[in-house]
Structure 1
């Protein structure tokens, strides 16, 4: 026997990704414009590019992470504290590696400055990811299956 596990739908994953990126941009674009002394539109376009890249990676990453939850017999909204931390850190590491060249080119800064910029942004986003996902899981919980089926 194995427990029946409920996964988030594609529509739910899309809602998560879009709402995650929208709120993040509302926070980071004005801060980036002030920090780099650039027009908000210039930082906004960079933000949109990074957000689209992150959403695509987010959909794939969460699907893979949910697969591991399923193998462990749990639903994603019931993830442990350690599981949530691993989820957030792993995703941000993947984004860090893929974003450094874009930061350097777009902002006309060195790779080292791009790395340091991304470290600051990533550090913020790791905490943001944890709290956003926790809030999302509370706002849109998945039901705990009560049925067991034989395989």
Structure 2
């Protein structure tokens, strides 16, 4: 199997590892941001970060599974433009899923929940791109050492 095939193919276990690590760092770093923009205390913000994290983890798995299928079928490289499109697609989908959840759990209007989600998007959009880039670099390095 070629190195590029190793980078495209992801086992269910690797998908879970990738998503969980992404969310662990996301929870730790987003709770203070949620507290700042919502006026809620850190513990309430941590709970909403955890809830949205669970939703995002499920979405991450589904989204990246579909993305990998497209990538395998069309053989496109992870260029900077593709990484931006990939990150944008993930975040747009997550907004549609998470805004109602944030509204219900934090007692916010849909508009206020959307504004909070937008603030989080300003953080998570570059975080998503950087996280996946670093993940791919580490994986590529590890595979190159094993092959």
Shorter-chain TM-score above 0.5 = yes
Query: Shift of the alpha carbon at 1:106?
Result: 1.8
Is 1:125 aligned with 2:124? yes
Give TM-score scaled by structure 1 length. 0.83
- After the TM superposition, which segments of 4 or more aligned residues of structure 1 sit over 6 Å from their partners? none
How far apart, CA to CA, are the structure 2 residues paired with 1:131 and 1:12?
18
CA 1:123–1:35 in structure 2 vs 1: closer, same or farther (change >3 Å)?
Answer: closer
The C-alpha deviation readout for 1:120-143, integer Å capped at 9, x for no partner, is 111211110000110111111285
Query: Shift of the alpha carbon at 1:70?
Result: 0.3
Bigger Cα displacement from structure 2, 41-50 vs 123-132: 41-50
Other-structure match for 2:5: 5
The C-alpha deviation readout for 1:95-135, integer Å capped at 9, x for no partner, is 00111111112222221111111111112111100001101
Give TM-score scaled by structure 2 length. 0.85
The number of equivalent residue pairs is: 138
Other-structure match for 1:46: 48
Other-structure match for 1:72: 74
RMSD: 1.9
Instruction: For CA contacts below 8 A with separation 6 or more, give which structure has more relative contact order.
Output: 1
How far apart, CA to CA, are the structure 2 residues paired with 1:28 and 1:41?
12
The C-alpha deviation readout for 1:53-112, integer Å capped at 9, x for no partner, is 1111111110100011101225xxx51111111110001000001111111122222211
Other-structure match for 1:58: 60
Larger radius of gyration: 1
Which of 29, 32, 38 is matched with 2:31 structurally?
Answer: 29
Is 1:99 aligned with 2:101? no
